[in-house]
Structure 1
Amino acid sequence: MTRRPTSRAPSGPRPPWSIETFAAACDGCGACLPACPEQILAKGDDGLPVIDFSRGGCTFCGDCATACVPRNGRPAALDRTVFDAADRLPVLARLGAACISIQGVTCRLCGDPCDPHAIKFRPLPGGRVLPEIADESCNGCGICVSACPVGALSMAPLVRA
């Protein structure tokens, strides 16, 4: 029997293709967790799936949505037919002060796996580079978070204008 989630807040963003009424539609069955080939989905503080970017980034493959099926009169909580494509998650990469590149150590590990090329490196005098994140290019995949050797990157909620 599936345990009904508590009302606690999630501890991360929901998986791609989450419907607007995700918390009401998801019964916490967990079918999406093992379906994720990147293994980045985990149960959040409320018992429902969230993305754990410390494990890696989202490739938007859709396997989580395929595993999510309507149950007990509820709609599927992840539905690729509602959205043509989850080309972005509602989060943006944010760089913290712990970044060793900012501190003068040559590092570009966060930019290497960034497929949308949202992380650029601006040359500074003395051969240093300053990482900069282009919000308009960031798709929220989070691959940069797990690539950072010092944990200087995080994902922050996208604020829509």
Structure 2
Amino acid sequence: MSGLLSRRTLLTRRTEARAPSGPRPPWSVARFAEVCDGCGACLSSCLEHCLAKGADGLPVVDFAQGGCTFCGACDAACAPRAIDRAAADGLDRLPVLARLGASCISIQGVTCRLCGDPCLVRAIAFRPLPGGRVLPEIADQSCNGCGICVSACPVGALSMVAQAPSVRGLS
């Protein structure tokens, strides 16, 4: 019996280790973990399917699944008002910024602009370099943290990193 319990414990630990850990959904209230009841209505209503259960069982944005278009479906589905667009002062952004990694094929000389094409706020620009290459550059002040660029990158060169609210003009 103890062998069975230890296998279950191991399986549980593996599952928890793989649980996504991203930012909370857009327009999450300050005391989100206290207000959210974990019902999952926001997850099932998300049109982009970018919300997932986090390690604590509450919703987070999982950029591996896709980016957020700020459609508002999660806000509309949230009965306890842990997600409240009206209380967010109209800010359609997440507290993360896109970061480019060394595996970017554009930096390595392959023509690619797949991360910039879907960027609705045009936070990614391409600076020409000698030899016909282009260097993707991310304007932090324009980036709304949607993560659409992450899911568009064919080599996984982009990631989303937490950003301090004061740096982005958020409070």
Q: TM-score, normalised by structure 1?
A: 0.88
Whole-angstrom distance in 2 between the partners of 1:118 and 1:83: 22
Give the equivalent residue in structure 2 for 1:24. 34
Q: Which amino acid aligns with 1:154?
A: S
Structure 1: distance between partners of 2:163 and 2:129: 29
The total of aligned residue pairs comes to 149
Q: Which of the residues 158, 163, 167 maps onto 1:158?
A: 163
Match of 2:61 in 1: 51
2:139 to 134, 147, 159: 134
Structure 1 contact 105–128 (Cα < 8 Å) conserved: yes
SS of residue paired to 1:18: coil
Which protein has the larger Cα radius of gyration, Structure 1 or Structure 2?
2
The reply on whether 1:123 has 2:133 as its aligned counterpart is no
Q: Distance in 1 between matches of 2:163 and 2:20?
A: 16
Q: Please show how residues 10-159 of structure 1 align to structure 2 within 5 Å.
A: 11-70=21-80, 76-159=81-164
The one-letter code matched in structure 2 to 1:35 is S
Per-residue CA deviations over 1:94-150 (Å, capped at 9, x if unaligned) read: 000110111111111000000111000000011000000000110111000000000
1:27 and 1:102 map into 2 onto residues whose CA distance is 44
CA distance in 2, matches of 1:119, 1:81: 28
On the 8 A contact 1:10/1:46 being kept in 2, the answer is no
The answer as to whether partners of 2:20 and 2:62 remain within 8 angstroms in 1 is no
Checking the alignment, whether the CA contact within 8 Å between 2:20 and 2:52 is kept in structure 1 is: no
SS of residue in 1 equivalent to 2:92: coil
In structure 2, the residue matched to 1:3 is none
The structural deviation recorded for 1:80 is 1.9
Identify unmatched segments of 5+ residues in structure 1. Answer: 1-5, 71-75
Gaps of 5+ in 2: 1-15
Overall identity of the aligned pairs, in %:
74
Any idea what SS the aligned residue of 1:45 has? Answer: coil
SS at 2:74 equivalent? helix
Q: Whole-Å Cα distance in 1 between the matches of residues 151 and 20 of structure 2?
A: 20
Runs of 4+ in 1 over 4 A off after TM superposition: none
Q: Structure 1 residue 10: deviation in Å?
A: 6.9
Structure 1 letter corresponding to 2:66: G
Amino acid at match of 1:141: C
**Offset of 1:81 from its aligned partner?**
2.4
User: For residue 100 of structure 2, what is the amino acid of its counterpart?
Assistant: L
Matching residue's letter, 2:101:
G
Residue matched to 2:11: none
